[in-house]
Amino acid sequence: MNFILIAVIVLGAIALVAAVVLYIISKKFAVDEDPRLETVTEALPGANCGGCGFPGCGGMADALVKGADAGSIEGLFCPVGGQEVMEQVADILGMAVAKTDPMVAVVRCHGTCENRPRVAEYNGMRTCAAIHSTGAGETACGFGCLGCGDCVEACGFDAIHMNPDTGLPEVDDDKCTACGACVKACPRNIIELRKKGSKNRRIYVRCVNKDKGAVALKACKVACIGCGKCLKACAFDAITIDNNLSYIDYNKCKMCRKCVDACPTHAIVALNFPIRKAAPATNEKVESGRQNKDSKKEEEKQ
């Protein structure tokens, strides 16, 4: 009985000493949390999507507070909250925030079943990552969409779905937050974040095939063939060609649509533009029409 009592007393003394030591250490090495950190975290949407480049909203809030202490939060942006949330955060931190154009995910592939016929059948795990690891996939294009919907699974905002008719993913502009999750999920890198554009109008090359023109066109009827006609048509130096593939810089593009008209394979797409009106007849054509009518009338009289 005495042994039990002694053991209890010894253990109690050890616990008491350990508690005192821990208390002293916690006070000595305590780190005071900046009260702004909690306020900024609450202002952020809490999606924890990683679209800002940090592991979550907590990491973003910490970066914003540290940036404010350093004198600038430039380059830090929450794609989910957008400009409105960033302005709230800037007010909390007493900083100015630059206006940022909204972005949206864009699928740069138009290899529908009609445009890009299947040449093989894949039997295995139905994910884009799995098919990509085996090679070109079920078509002759080793660059285009694989159609398994890895991007759909990655999206936390229900903003991207597979079209059953085309077999391609489609982005809902209104739901897309430009978090970039679909971009990271695509093993073929066909999804890109681009400026949403005024009135949701965008012009881009809907192809990522880097094969030479003849090979690319054989695999897909609407592939970019790197012919350079769009490059010659652009007066704003917005188009470059690299590895047989054209690319449009959305910061330089003036939405003139001349490149769209110049593309022989219709690989360049213009979204949400009004339908163009038919060009009016020229004076020469009108005059020619009048002369034809007059000549017909004379022939009828004779």
Q: Are residues 256 and 124 in the same domain?
A: yes
Q: Are residues 247 and 126 in the same domain?
A: yes
Q: Are residues 81 and 189 in the same domain?
A: no
Q: Are residues 164 and 89 in the same domain?
A: no
Q: Are residues 117 and 207 in the same domain?
A: yes
Identify the pLDDT of residue 86.
93
Q: Does residue 25 lie within any of the structural domains?
A: no
Q: Are residues 184 and 222 in the same domain?
A: yes
Identify the pLDDT of residue 40.
92
Identify the pLDDT of residue 302.
46
Domain at 202, CATH number? 3.30.70.20
Detail the residues annotated as belonging to a binding site for [4Fe-4S] cluster. 49, 52, 57, 78, 141, 145, 148, 151, 155, 176, 179, 182, 186
Q: Does residue 113 lie within any of the structural domains?
A: yes
Q: Does residue 252 lie within any of the structural domains?
A: yes
Q: Are residues 72 and 197 in the same domain?
A: no
Q: Are residues 120 and 248 in the same domain?
A: yes
195 forms beta bridges with: 103
Q: Does residue 259 lie within any of the structural domains?
A: yes
Q: Are residues 120 and 45 in the same domain?
A: no
Identify the pLDDT of residue 286.
45
Per-residue pLDDT of the chain (302 residues; tens, 9 = 90+): 577 888 888 888 899 989 988 888 877 776 667 888 889 999 999 988 888 888 889 999 999 999 998 888 988 999 989 889 999 999 999 988 878 889 999 999 999 989 999 999 898 899 999 999 988 789 999 999 999 999 999 999 999 999 999 999 999 999 999 999 999 999 999 999 999 998 999 999 999 999 999 999 999 999 999 999 999 999 999 999 999 999 999 999 999 999 999 999 999 999 999 987 765 655 554 455 555 555 544 545 44
Detail the residues annotated as belonging to a binding site. 49, 52, 57, 78, 141, 145, 148, 151, 155, 176, 179, 182, 186
The total of structural domains in the chain comes to: 2
CB neighbour burial string for 5-27, b if at least 16 within 10 angstroms, e if fewer = eeeeeeeeeeeeeeeeeeeeeee
- The residue among 77, 86, 69 whose CA lies nearest residue 52 is 77
Q: Are residues 112 and 257 in the same domain?
A: yes
Q: Does residue 67 lie within any of the structural domains?
A: yes
Domain at 82, CATH number? 1.10.15
Q: Are residues 108 and 48 in the same domain?
A: no
Residue 60 domain boundaries: 35-93
Q: Does residue 190 lie within any of the structural domains?
A: yes
Q: Are residues 256 and 132 in the same domain?
A: yes
